[in-house]
Amino acid sequence: MPSTPAKTPRLTGEALHAGYESRRVLDGVDLAVAEGQLTVLLGPNGSGKSTLLKTLARTLTPSAGRVCLDGQDIHRRNTREVAQRLGILPQGPSAPEGLTVRQLVGMGRFPHRRLWRQDAERDARAIHAAMAYTDVAAFAERSVDALSGGQRQRCWIAMVLAQETDLILLDEPTTFLDLKVQVDLLELLSRLAHEHGRTLLLVLHDLNLAAAYADRLVMMRDGRIVTSGTPRDVFTATHLKGVFDLDARVLEDPETGSPICVPTPRRGARPSARPASPTVDRRCIS
Amino acid sequence: MTHSASLNQTGEGTTDAPRARYLRIATLLGLLLLTSMGLSLALGSFPTSFVEVGHALVTPQDSDIAFIVWELRLPRIVLAVLVGAALAVAGAILQAIVRNPLASPDVIGITSGAALAAVAFLALFGTALSIHWLPASALTGALLAALLVFLLAWQRGISPSRMVLVGIGLSAAMGAVTTLLIVISDDAAAMYAYVWLTGSLYAAQWQDVLGLLPWLLVAVPLCLTRARHMDAMALGDQVAQGLGVHVLHSRLVLMACSVSLAGAAVAFAGGLSFVGLIAPHIAARLVGRGFARLVPTAALIGALIVLYADLLGRVAFLPKDLPAGIFVSGVGAPFFVYLLHRTRYRSG
């Protein structure tokens, strides 16, 4: 793990309460997003991790508490100025039919352009760099909706990169993708943090991928943060049980040292070479 | 145009083909519109040659032909162009906001609101009272209906799909009242109301042109300043906000443009709003997605459609002067079915 000097967090949430019309989701959350690191929000469905990300991204306005970006309340700041510092990629974005990759990536320049003031050269450089980094330049002129899921997601990440923000929030960027594609995307994102000094906050579903790639894990349950810290510190059997109600053993990857969880199958669910005994069968039926 | 060409200048030597294509198409459509206006000016129930028309144009006070050209045909032609452009731009805005290709100014109650107000006006005052007040009442009806849809659909912000549902419901209700009013009013008023509902430019005057023009002069440039916002919102509200678009604000501005354009056009020409559905589609097929290119192209196409629909109504069934709305629908309906047939729905 690269040593990162502790810098003052630029994005913080203080005593956040937020939710939707009928349902309160966040129940007093404090979070400081660690600078230059990849932080992953983990938690079971309905734990509030996406809601927390949306609140930090100013998509949702908290009912109490506040989100601060560089010391100022994010909801009171000019949204375009925020967009010059903070990029977001929501869950499952969809591009209109026929929009080309280059056009999509170009949209990332929106906060830097004005009707009367445009820096075409800087825009072109940023777009070029973003497409090169995500490796989408090869199909720049094709339409986004014709690409595979993984390629498409790389295009969206390229759009956020073209925005040239230090902070990037991504809501489930790897969901519904093949494992190999998920790994590639996480490699790409962690290089952004470690080699380019960007600050990333992700919501992920896959526990082991989160443990393998996150610098910091934030575990949530019922709208609160249960624990947070490095995977080594917080990715423990006790926390997995407490947060996910998951019975699992946590092992250590002998190569990287990152923790891995292996769910403990309940009795009877385990695939077995021997046929289940008749007594168990009878108990199941009764 | 508000779009810079920079999207395609990445130092890889790619040329900006879409932009060149747009300029070519817009120029062609512009020329086509001008020649069509000239053609329309020369055709009518009273036979006139191009030379006579040309002469009458430069010497306005000279003759009977000058009167026909300047007071009968030209205002009608200009009004047709403006009405077509206004409806097309209103439709383009609405389709982009709602993110549904089948949206038109009808779906948020504009047309039915205008129709109800116009028919109520006719039923109350008959055709006797100055017909000049009809556009004003229709416009009021359109704006009130749009406002009502907006208020009913408001729920901590505005959701386009909710707006469409409310609009369709309200339109149906207003349609019922309109029909009721037509049925119970006297024959002359009912006939007039019916022609108005179909959409007609009959007896258009310069006064009508001057009534409609300001709406276009304000709303079209205003919506063009929001073109990039619109392109960003096509990626979804969350992405747009992430990019720094004030989504609610932009949507309100654009809705106001769409409603006032459609409302004003319907007020002066009646129920021609089908143009607002098809013109943006034809434009999108020609010049692609960017909103800044779509709007002028759609405006030109809308103008052409209404111009030719009105020309057909004027000259094809002489001595009858038929409402342009018949021909707009005649062209529009098959196209609409074709769109339904080929549109692959995306869930949204």
* pLDDT recorded at residue B204: 79
Give me the mean pLDDT over the A53-79 stretch: 92
Q: What are phi and psi of A43, to 5 degrees?
A: 165, 160
Chain segment A260-282, per-residue pLDDT in tens: 999 988 777 767 655 555 554 44
Tell me the average pLDDT of chain A.
89
* pLDDT recorded at residue A142: 92
Pairing of strands A86-89, A167-171: parallel
Q: Are residues A105 and A241 in the same domain?
A: no
Chain segment B10-61, per-residue pLDDT in tens: 333 345 677 888 999 999 999 999 999 999 888 877 777 878 878 777 777 7
Give me the mean pLDDT over the B160-164 stretch: 81
B287 vs B256: CA distance, rounded Å: 25
Q: Are residues A169 and A156 in the same domain?
A: no
Give me the mean pLDDT over the B98-112 stretch: 79
Chain segment A202-237, per-residue pLDDT in tens: 999 999 999 999 999 999 999 999 999 999 999 999
Tell me if A199 sits within 8 A of A34, measured CB to CB: yes
DSSP B106: G
Partner-chain contact A120 B244, CB within 8 Å: no
Peptide bond into A278 cis (omega under 30): no
Sort out which chain B residues have CB atoms less than 8 A from A93's CB and list them: 235-236, 238-239
Q: Which two tokens stand for residue A118?
A: 């445009």
Q: What are phi and psi of A65, to 5 degrees?
A: 85, 180
Q: Are residues A122 and A68 in the same domain?
A: no
Q: Are residues A30 and A157 in the same domain?
A: no
Q: Are residues A195 and A78 in the same domain?
A: yes
Q: Are residues A172 and A154 in the same domain?
A: no
Give me the mean pLDDT over the A4-32 stretch: 86
Give me the mean pLDDT over the A67-82 stretch: 92
Handedness of CA B241, B156, A30, A79 (dihedral sign): positive
How far from the centroid of its chain's Cα atoms is residue A57's Cα? 12
* pLDDT recorded at residue B85: 96
Beta-carbon pairs below 8 A across chains A and B: 95
* pLDDT recorded at residue A15: 92
Residue B265: closest CA among B254, B280, B276, B256: B276
Per-residue pLDDT at A113 exceeds 80: yes
A97, A107, A128: residue with CB nearest B232: A107
Instruction: Give the 3-state secondary structure of residue B316.
Output: coil
Instruction: Give the residue numbers spanning the domain of A106.
Output: 97-162
Instruction: Give the 3-state secondary structure of residue A255.
Output: coil
Partnered with residue A200 across adjacent β-strands are A38, A168
Partner-chain contact B241 A58, CB within 8 Å: yes
A54, A87, A107: residue with CB nearest B235: A107
* pLDDT recorded at residue B64: 78
Domain final residue, candidates A112, A130, A162: A162
A59, A80, A104: residue with CB nearest B238: A59
Partner-chain contact A90 B242, CB within 8 Å: yes
By C-alpha distance, the chain B residue nearest A110 is B243
CATH code, domain with A29: 3.40.50.300
Q: Are residues A241 and A169 in the same domain?
A: yes
Q: Are residues A120 and A227 in the same domain?
A: no
Q: Are residues A25 and A67 in the same domain?
A: yes
Tokens 């292996």 -> residue: A262
Strand order in the sheet with A72-73: A24-32, A11-19, A64-69, A72-73
A33 vs A41: CA distance, rounded Å: 11
Instruction: Give the 3-state secondary structure of residue A168.
Output: strand
Sort out which chain A residues have CB atoms less than 8 A from B101's CB and list them: none
Tell me if B161 sits within 8 A of B103, measured CB to CB: no
Q: Which of A155-159, B14-18, B127-131 has the highest mean pLDDT?
A: A155-159
Tokens 């907006």 -> residue: B150
User: Cα distance from A159 to chain B (closest Cα, Å)?
Assistant: 10
A83, A115, A120: residue with CB nearest B6: A120
A94, A99, A127: residue with CB nearest B346: A94
Q: Are residues A184 and A216 in the same domain?
A: yes
* pLDDT recorded at residue B128: 64
For domain B18-338, give its CATH number from 3.30.1330.60, 1.10.3470.10, 3.20.20.70, 3.90.226.10: 1.10.3470.10
Instruction: Give the 3-state secondary structure of residue B271.
Output: coil
Q: Is A279 a domain residue?
A: no
Sort out which chain B residues have CB atoms less than 8 A from A81's CB and list them: 244
**Count of structural domains within chain A:** 2
Residues of B with CB under 8 A from a CB of A: 2, 4-12, 14, 99, 156, 225, 228, 231-232, 234-236, 238-239, 241-246, 288-289, 346, 348
User: Cα distance from A275 to chain B (closest Cα, Å)?
Assistant: 46
Identify the residue among A54, A82, A84, A107 best suited for mutation to test binding to B, counting B beta carbons within 10 A and taking the highest: A107
ipTM: 0.87
Q: Is A275 a domain residue?
A: no
Identify the residue among B1, B2, B10, B12 best suited for mutation to test binding to A, counting A beta carbons within 10 A and taking the highest: B10
Per-residue pLDDT at A21 exceeds 80: no
Chain segment B185-242, per-residue pLDDT in tens: 888 778 888 887 888 887 778 888 998 999 999 999 999 999 999 999 989 889 999 9
B347 vs B107: CA distance, rounded Å: 19
Q: Is A142 a domain residue?
A: yes
B143 vs B260: CA distance, rounded Å: 7
Listed in sequence order, the residues at least 6 apart from A111 whose beta carbon sits closer than 8 Å to its beta carbon are A80, A81, A83, A84, A163, B243, B244
User: Cα distance from A45 to chain B (closest Cα, Å)?
Assistant: 21
Which of A154-163, B49-58, B91-100, B247-256 has the lowest average pLDDT? B49-58
By C-alpha distance, the chain B residue nearest A127 is B10
Sort out which chain A residues have CB atoms less than 8 A from B238's CB and list them: 54, 59, 88, 90, 93
Tell me if A216 sits within 8 A of A228, measured CB to CB: yes
Domain final residue, candidates A142, A162, A182: A162
B7, B242, B346: residue with CB nearest A103: B7
Tell me the domain boundaries of chain B.
18-338
Instruction: Give the 3-state secondary structure of residue A34.
Output: coil
User: Cα distance from A59 to chain B (closest Cα, Å)?
Assistant: 7
A83, A118, A127: residue with CB nearest B243: A83
Residues of A with CB under 8 A from a CB of B: 21, 54, 57-59, 79-84, 86-90, 93-99, 102-104, 106-108, 110-111, 113, 115, 118, 120-121, 123-124, 127-128, 131, 141, 160, 163
Tokens 């709303």 -> residue: B219
pLDDT over 90 percentage in chain B: 28
Q: Are residues A39 and A181 in the same domain?
A: yes
Q: Which amino acid appears at position A6 of this protein? A: A
Sort out which chain B residues have CB atoms less than 8 A from A115's CB and list them: 2, 225
A88 burial via Cβ count (<10 Å: 0-12, 13-18, 19+): buried
Percent of residues in chain A assigned helix, strand, coil, to nearest 5:
35, 25, 40
